[in-house]
Amino acid sequence: MTKIIIGFVTLGMICGYFFIPDFFITEISGNLLVVGLCVLLFFVGLELGREGTVVENFKKVGIRILAFPIASIIGCLFFAAIASFFLPMTARESMAIASGFGWYTLAPVILSDYSAELSAIAFLHNVMREMIGIIIIPIVAKHVGYIEACSVPGAAAMDVCLPILEKTTNSDTAVYAFVIGVVLSTAVPILVPLFIGL
């Protein structure tokens, strides 16, 4: 699975750089991406529905399921604060960037009112988190654990990366991935302004 993902990402980069005209990227690819993502999520939902274990899993785990996204948030913020000792930014700036949790369209917009430089860094950080997540989810799922793999892409665990997580783990874990993605996405518009002081 990892080889297939890397292969298609590489193929897309080559085609985008050498062959695809600009109008396709600006006018068509966004709509195709939304349609493709909806189709992928539909089939994930179809498989979850066929298994019929979603409701049972929620009942079995209960409110404890929130421990996983909370642990992911704490881990991200903790290591962002440590990273600030090695980067030319304050702890709150570093934690504000990390609070994007992979949502590369929202966090940079919020940070743009504070600093264009931090906004650009946040964009790159969150895009890289999603891209690296797409590549290493199968590796983390195989060698570390299923729940840990759900935390890798952050907010993207509930949309772009959900089909990959469902394929490389199981349908039960996809429920955790969705909850992690929802909680992290909800936290972005709260934590980014909180840390940056806007």
Q: Are 98 and 125 in contact (CB under 8 A)?
A: yes
Q: Residue type for 85, please?
A: F
Give how far Cα 128 sits from Cα of 107, 149, 154, 175, Å. 14, 16, 11, 24
Q: Is the pLDDT of residue 79 over 80?
A: yes
Q: Is the pLDDT of residue 150 over 60?
A: yes
Q: What is the pTM of this model?
A: 0.74
pLDDT on residue 56:
67
Domain ranges of the chain: 2-196
Contacts 24+ apart (CB under 8 A), 174-177: 174/44, 174/48, 175/48, 175/54, 175/57, 175/58, 175/65, 176/65, 176/68, 176/146, 176/147, 176/150, 177/150
Tokens standing for residue 153? 């892409």
